[in-house]
Amino acid sequence: MDPNTAIEPAAACGTQQVCVLEHRAFHYLSEVLFRRDEAGTTPVMVMQLGDRQAAVPLRALQHELGIANDSADGRMFGLIAQSLDFVAGLQIGDPLPAEVLDGHASWTPDPMHRAVAAARLRLQLAAWLRREAAGATLSDSDTIRRLDEDPEMRRQVNAAMEQAAGELGVPGRAAVLSLLEDLAEELSYIEALRVGLRERMRRTIAAIESISETGRIDQKRLEMLTQVRRLGAKAFRHVSARFDELDTRTDEVLTALRNIDSHRNLIRSSRDALYRLSLAWDPILRAWEAAAGALTGTPLWQLLERTYRFLAPRYMQVQEWQTFVAGQHRARPKPLGQVMRW
């Protein structure tokens, strides 16, 4: 097996629910940890060597141990690599995340997210009855809750359920309500991520935009602040577009209810992609939230530099990023690698 070949994606290994490796090498290794490398791109196995830690890429480890992709350990290596999209680390004996086992999420949204998702669907159904597009009126959770509690809107929702039952060929309003609840359960994860990712990004970017430029700022720092603001705004547009696209696909609520299985797959795929993105953003968002606008001087510029190093490889144009990295290479040679896409 070529050590430069990526680990094959794997399906769940039969009924295996935990991280188990059979090769005898793992019988002699204690407290190994599987995680991604510092750049967040490559799955590695971390082990203690004296007073130091060694990180070995999984694909190189698999090659070195002669583990075939279609063996039990090879399939488990694939599952470990997939699992690191959903957990920060995994040890032998740890349960595998549900996402790689059966497609369910390994985390749970709050009840309020379920309530907002259900209310959004009810309002979309009422808009269908009126032959209107609902998207423009469902801009935020406060608006959704207010409209959902309006007596006239509730009357329209009940009427829409009666008509939808005929369109869908199901026995009455209760059956439509059951379908709405099933779809709302899937969409509740999207609502949770809307708050947990997009709204946190919005607040962080607003905090960066509010940084005062009073006092003397050298050219290098001013350029970095400008780039962070530009890339932060671009990142927010990028993430918002993902939510808007999914909202558009589920805006035709009757179509979604008629094809609920395919929409469930679409929602879960989007959920997992957004969750991976949320995990990547979380350390940066936490750092800005902990600062709460109180950072000044050197700590502020250190956080801005950290933020820039997070944003640049993800949201800078490929040619621009390659030029930037080439400039860094002149000071410290390092393989360029592939530009990450999120």
Q: What are phi and psi of 20, to 5 degrees?
A: -135, 130
Please state, in angstroms and rounded to a whole number, the distance separating the CA atoms of residues 153 and 270: 30
CB contact at 8 A, 116 and 191: yes
Q: What are phi and psi of 6, to 5 degrees?
A: -65, 150
Task: Name the token pair of 81.
Answer: 């690599």
CA distances from 214 to 65, 297, 307 (A): 58, 12, 21
The pLDDT of residue 9 is 47
Count of CB atoms situated within 10 Å of the CB of 266: 16
Please state, in angstroms and rounded to a whole number, the distance separating the CA atoms of residues 284 and 290: 10
Interhelix angle 297-315/318-331, rounded to 10 degrees, is: 120
Please state, in angstroms and rounded to a whole number, the distance separating the CA atoms of residues 47 and 54: 5
Please state, in angstroms and rounded to a whole number, the distance separating the CA atoms of residues 26 and 48: 13
Task: Name the token pair of 299.
Answer: 């700590």
Please state, in angstroms and rounded to a whole number, the distance separating the CA atoms of residues 11 and 244: 31
The pLDDT of residue 115 is 93
Q: CA nearest 281: which of 337, 222, 202? A: 202
The pLDDT of residue 4 is 45
Count of CB atoms situated within 10 Å of the CB of 250: 23
The CA-based angle 329-332-334, given to 5 degrees, is 65
Tens of pLDDT, residue by residue over 316-333, are: 875 554 454 455 444 443
Task: Name the token pair of 223.
Answer: 């350029």
Positions of the chain with pLDDT lower than 70, given as ranges: 1-15, 30, 39, 133-139, 213-216, 318-342
Residue given tokens 């996402």 in the structure block: 99
Tens of pLDDT, residue by residue over 203-239, are: 999 999 988 765 567 788 888 999 999 999 999 999 9
Burial of 318 (0-12, 13-18, 19+ CB in 10 A): exposed
Q: Which residues contact 211 (CB under 8 A, 6 or more apart)?
A: 225, 300, 304
SS (H, E, C) the chain: CCCCCCCCCCCCCCCCCECCCCCHHHHCCCCCEEEECCCCCCEEEEEEECCEEEEEEHHHHHHHHCCCCCCHHHHHHHHHHHHCCCCCEECCCCECCHHHHCCCCCCCCCHHHHHHHHHHHHHHHHHHHHCCCCHHHCCCHHHHHHHHCCHHHHHHHHHHHHHHHHHHCCCCHHHHHHHHHHHHHHHHHHHHHHHHHHHHHHHHHHHHHCCCCCCCCCHHHHHHHHHHHHHHHHHHHHHHHHHHHHHHHHHCHHHHHHCHHHHHHHHHHHHHHHHHHHHHHHHHHHHHHHHCCCCCHHHHHHHHHHHHHHHHHHHCCHHHHHHHHHHHHHHCCCCCCCCCCC
The pLDDT of residue 118 is 93
Q: CA nearest 200: which of 231, 250, 235, 229? A: 235
